[in-house]
A and B are shown apart, each in its own frame.
Chain A
């Protein structure tokens, strides 16, 4: 029990939990769910909400014929109602070594974010699934549903360790192979893939999902002037690549320009493909990110 408490307080503070309880995941698209849920679905069903009429064909359930319409027009019309179903909510975490940087590390930050969003989904009885890019095809992440699954979710999140150095594209492909359904996908990554993030995002954009890309960057990446000084040999923690630099004002300016171009590029790329992009500085607490930024972006309500 003590362990559980730790897990909760590590990833989700009680205050945040209270805050999150009142929230709800919003999808900009309406999907078909798998089970009866709280979501409107494309499927016509048995809710109280009217959806449409259609001409009667033989075999239709007579209970749904609109008799008033028949009285007026002397033709049989079937009255259709919206079906309410559950929402598939996926969180895909990049657990590469590069995510293990910063205080708190980008990975922890990603876990917190995933936990917060997942909690919201669980509260609304959505179908929540959390996976990493390196999750093997044979061992997909658990499918969670209902508030009682919070502990399982947090347990799973705690089990995620950095070091799964999988290219972004491959991770995305594997994810899509495992999950063919529709729903909301939140991709939490730093997008630092030497082969480029574009193919992976392009691939995801073709899926019938509402994709949110959250790029987590540590302060050391956003503002290196404070931590990187002098003549340095920068070693890439993933592939050991070396970049020799001598830090100077012009170099830092140049880096800043490159970073801005990179972030801008990602944002534009996402916007063009109907994906929502968000830059998350790990210095900003998750609670703030969730309560204000995410709401602004329309992921939460």
Chain B
């Protein structure tokens, strides 16, 4: 590795190559002799070729010019095979190498003064290092972003390694090096890979060198011991680079005016420039609003709020007008989702007030309500629907199912069949002393003018919240169950005593009752109305449930073909091809309308922080970066091959002309 030449052939190759020049010379001597022909005089012929024969040496050379050219050609090839080159300063340490290449979003940045992106620079350096590997050296290629990806296990095949490195594509993911380090250290430190203390170490420890090519923007390495792994950090990127990125972008209903949307964004500056940026807000690709955002002098962040009024379904895009090295985080995506309608099942008999409350315009707008009699609980349809999560909310009015359904539930006057819920002995005329006004279910509900004839104080499972507190105890509580919530009211609205049925409370006649019902439907029915849809990071999986039990969902990424996914058994769709930034459209089943949007954004301060870290922090030590990258070996063999080809061309030309020989 240290010499001017690198031997690239084995003994057999050299033997074959060494046979070529003698073969050429032999062929030259064996070649067709000139036929002698007697002529009256060579006088004119000599004169003809006289000026070509300037001197005898040249003449002799000329006679075998083709031979010389052929030998020269072979000589050049032999030289090329020897791979001459100027030794660079950079040296590979050890004989086992792990190339950890960061391909997170920030590696796509093109620093000023550089014609290629950081990832391309990293690839170039790794290719140079692979080129430097001696025969017998083994290398492994791992890329890491938010996850590690082993592109190539240890191999001494440099061509495979180089091909894998060339195939590395940039991603928009965030950065986490831990997984990559564990993979890399797996063979170097077998003991760490053992799962239990008692595991017998079977693999031999093999020290390796880990070249980390990254901008260093990942969390501090904790809980990891490098052991036999020798880390060498090669920071990429220009320290002087600056970047402005969007850190957050979300939509929200105006809490005061329910029909108005607000958009918030937060922008961070990394570096010294600029003090102020212009943010353009687009709605379905047309400019909607513009704001000048001042960035704080100290922490470099700034924010803006856009009041949008009432907007329909659509996509929002926020762009910062600022040229920087990392353009991906200058755009953020969001969308206004169509309101999702709650699927509500009411199991009730004879409760007209409940029926009326569910008939309001408000409820009709946000929910599909189905009212069934108590018998319905016994039917097969119910069992199926309850188990499959068909409904968002099931209200059991003075009744209870045998098993809890896969849905949020409300129980009026009955104990749900769940451990933890206890109905204590019924008390007459409990006094309501407190309402959890802050809870969405009880907001704007006034029970001051409500009296209750008979109610049972409740005990609820851990994690529950009291919604209505009386002097006798909790009258209403809500408690989580799996991913659902159960709200239980300690009294029913109708009571039967002595074969007479009468109202247990006059709450149903009060104004607060429809409000309470609407709150129930809205909160437990999981109604999100035109709110900020979910934003995920690139590479994360997006999970959702279909409201209409679609058999499949079609997801249209910002660009590219539409993907179709099918749900798992419990109606859960999971979509993981979220590498592109932008807003994705979800259509369920055969529906033409978009049922929901979700957006993929970087929103990561570490990723937007574009200046490379000069060193990597670990729990115990700092790994200094090898700042200066000296070019590896300068290879000349390509030039030699080119020269050989030129010689071959000249030889061919002369052979065809044949004047001079």
Contact = CB atoms under 8 A, between A and B. Distances in A.
A and B from one complex: yes
Interface of A: 98-99, 101-102, 106, 190, 192-194, 218, 220-221, 228, 230-238, 241-246, 248, 250-251, 254-255, 258-259, 262
Given A244-B34, A244-B63, A254 B48 contact: yes
B167 interface: no
B37 interface: yes
Interface string B28-61: 0000111111111111111111000000000000
B35 A232 contact: yes
Contacts of B41: 98, 190, 192, 194, 221, 236-238
Contacts of A244: 34, 63
For the complex of A and B, 10 pairs with smallest distance between CB atoms: A192-B41, A233-B34, A98-B40, A236-B42, A101-B40, A243-B42, A243-B45, A233-B36, A258-B48, A246-B658
Contacts of B34: 231-233, 244, 246
Nearest to A191: B43
12 contacts: A98-B41, A190-B40, A192-B41, A221-B44, A232-B35, A234-B38, A234-B45, A236-B38, A245-B45, A248-B659, A251-B49, A254-B659
B42 A242 contact: yes
A228 B37 CA distance: 9
A233 to B, nearest CB: 4
Contact of B37 (A232, A248, A259): A232
A295 to B, nearest CB: 29
A218 B40 contact: yes
B183 interface: no
Given A237-B40, A262-B44, A230 B63 contact: no
Contacts, number: 96
B661 interface: yes
Interface in B328-373: none
B657 interface: yes
B658 to A, nearest CB: 5
B36 A235 contact: yes
A221 B48 contact: no
Contacts of B43: 192-194, 236
Contacts of B658: 246, 248, 251
Contacts of B42: 234-236, 241-243
A235 B37 contact: yes
Contact of B661 (A101, A230, A246): A246
Contacts of A218: 40
Given A246-B658, A254-B48, 15 more contacts: A102-B40, A190-B40, A192-B40, A192-B43, A192-B44, A194-B43, A232-B35, A232-B37, A235-B37, A235-B42, A236-B39, A236-B42, A243-B49, A251-B49, A262-B47
A255 B48 contact: yes
B46 A231 contact: no
Contact of A259 (B38, B44, B49, B63): B44
B35 A233 contact: yes
A255 B42 CA distance: 11
A220 B45 contact: no
A246 B659 CA distance: 7
Contacts of A233: 33-37
Contacts of B44: 192, 221, 255, 258-259, 262
B661 A221 contact: no
A207 to B, nearest CB: 26
A237 B659 CA distance: 24
Contacts of B39: 101, 220-221, 228, 234-237
Contacts of A250: 657, 659
B46 A243 contact: yes
A237 B38 contact: yes
A245 B658 CA distance: 9
Contacts of B659: 246, 248, 250-251, 254
Nearest to B39: A234
Nearest to A237: B38
B58 to A, nearest CB: 15
Contacts of B36: 232-235
Contacts of B48: 245, 251, 254-255, 258
A59 B37 CA distance: 73
Nearest to A218: B40
A244 B45 CA distance: 9
A43 B165 CA distance: 111
A174 B45 CA distance: 29
Contacts of A243: 42, 45-46, 49
B35 A241 contact: no
Interface centre among B34, B39, B48, B659 (most CB of A within 10 A): B39
Contacts of A236: 38-39, 41-43
Contacts of B47: 258, 262
Interface in B605-658: 657-658
A243 to B, nearest CB: 4
A99 B41 CA distance: 9
A101 B33 CA distance: 25
A234 B40 contact: no
A244 B36 CA distance: 9
Nearest to A230: B35
A236 B45 CA distance: 10
Contacts of A190: 40-41
A98 B39 CA distance: 8
B586 to A, nearest CB: 77
Contact of B35 (A221, A231, A242): A231
Contacts of A231: 32, 34-35
B40 A221 contact: yes
A220 B35 contact: no
A238 to B, nearest CB: 7
Contacts of A234: 36-39, 42, 45
A100 to B, nearest CB: 8
Nearest to A248: B658
A245 B37 CA distance: 11
A262 B44 CA distance: 8
Nearest to B41: A192
Contacts of A220: 39-40
Contacts of A98: 40-41
A235 B38 contact: yes
A231 B661 CA distance: 10
Nearest to B50: A258
A282 B171 CA distance: 89
A58 B422 CA distance: 190
B50 to A, nearest CB: 9
B270 to A, nearest CB: 72
A101 B38 CA distance: 10
A216 to B, nearest CB: 10
Contacts of B33: 233
Contacts of A232: 34-37
A193 B36 CA distance: 21
A196 B412 CA distance: 137
Nearest to A250: B659
A193 B41 CA distance: 9
Contact of A241 (B32, B46, B63, B661): B46
